[in-house]
Structure 1
Amino acid sequence: MSKFGLYNKFMTKEGKRDELVGILLEAAASMEQVTDCEIYSVNVSDNEPESVWVYEVWSSAGAHQASLSLEGAAALIGRAMPLIAGVERIHTLTPVGGKGIS
């Protein structure tokens, strides 16, 4: 079974990037207990002050989908949605190896 990776760009409402980063870091912390999540990286850029990038690597696409039903996920999503102006899926990836990918 192939691994599953995502690289998403979240565009926030003006002045809401740091608040969204905080929520996404809570999500990342909760992924520490999820063995099927190998990487959950939250990133920002000085060049785009209203954007947040999230890179994820999962054991499978199904594991990623199942994570959306984990306890607490709906609450985090609910808190994040009012801050988001748009989402762009930069890439859906098939990770093949490297540091941090088992």
Structure 2
Amino acid sequence: MTGRRGFLAGAAGLAVLGLAPPARAEGTMYGLIGKMTAHAGRRDELTAVLLEGLGRMPGCLSYVVAHDPEDADAIWVTEVWTDAASHQASLQTPEVRAAIQKGRPLIADFSDAVTTTPVGGVGLGAPAGHG
């Protein structure tokens, strides 16, 4: 998990902003959706950092990086974790810390960052209570 979510550090950029995720009930999935804007003309470079090392990340169920079709410099990241603790733990790994340093200079802005409580979906298993 070198750069890909390492730099983004899960929090769709929230980690780089220093914002802690809100408390979640134990056993619920934890989601993040965030928009970041690369410095002009550097979106592909930032995307490469986000997608680097898509290896195994304990607790990460989904991590999607998408380009905004209406903004040539914007990227949306959507993440789903087994729980908030798994996400938080990932932020402490040396790979994530190194990736944050690599990606941070490419970012002009973070916006529209939200946390969610996923309940199910393709690849995520059955909704809570529908086991």
Q: Structure 2: any 5+ residue segments left out of the alignment? A: 1-26, 126-131
In structure 2, which of residues 42, 47, 61 is the aligned counterpart of residue 16 of structure 1?
A: 42
Q: Structure 1: any 5+ residue segments left out of the alignment? A: none
Letter in 1 for 2:36: F
In structure 1, which of residues 80, 87, 90 is the aligned counterpart of residue 110 of structure 2?
A: 87
Normalization by structure 2: what TM-score? 0.71
Aligned-pair CA distance for 1:79: 0.7
Greater relative contact order structure (CA < 8 Å, 6+ sep): 1
CA distance in 2, matches of 1:91, 1:85: 18
Alignment pair present for 1:26 and 2:26: no
CA radius of gyration, larger in? 2
Normalization by structure 1: what TM-score? 0.90
RMSD over aligned CA atoms reads: 1.3
* Greater helix fraction, Structure 1 or Structure 2: 1
**Aligned pairs (5 A) from 1:60-99:** 60-99=83-122
Aligned-pair CA distance for 1:24: 0.2
What is the DSSP-based 3-state SS (H/G/I as helix, E as strand, rest coil) of the residue aligned with 1:33?
A: coil
Aligned-pair CA distance for 1:88: 1.6
Aligned-pair CA distance for 1:52: 0.6
Runs of 4+ in 1 over 2 A off after TM superposition: none
Task: Tell me how many residue pairs correspond in the alignment.
Answer: 99
Aligned-pair CA distance for 1:45: 2.2
Residue 35 of structure 2 contacts residue 76 of structure 2 at CA under 8 Å; is this kept in 1?
Answer: yes
Aligned-pair CA distance for 1:23: 0.2
Aligned-pair CA distance for 1:76: 0.8
* Greater strand fraction, Structure 1 or Structure 2: 1
CA distance in 1, matches of 2:106, 2:115: 23
Q: Alignment identity in percent?
A: 38
Aligned-pair CA distance for 1:39: 0.3
Residue 64 of structure 2 contacts residue 77 of structure 2 at CA under 8 Å; is this kept in 1?
Answer: yes
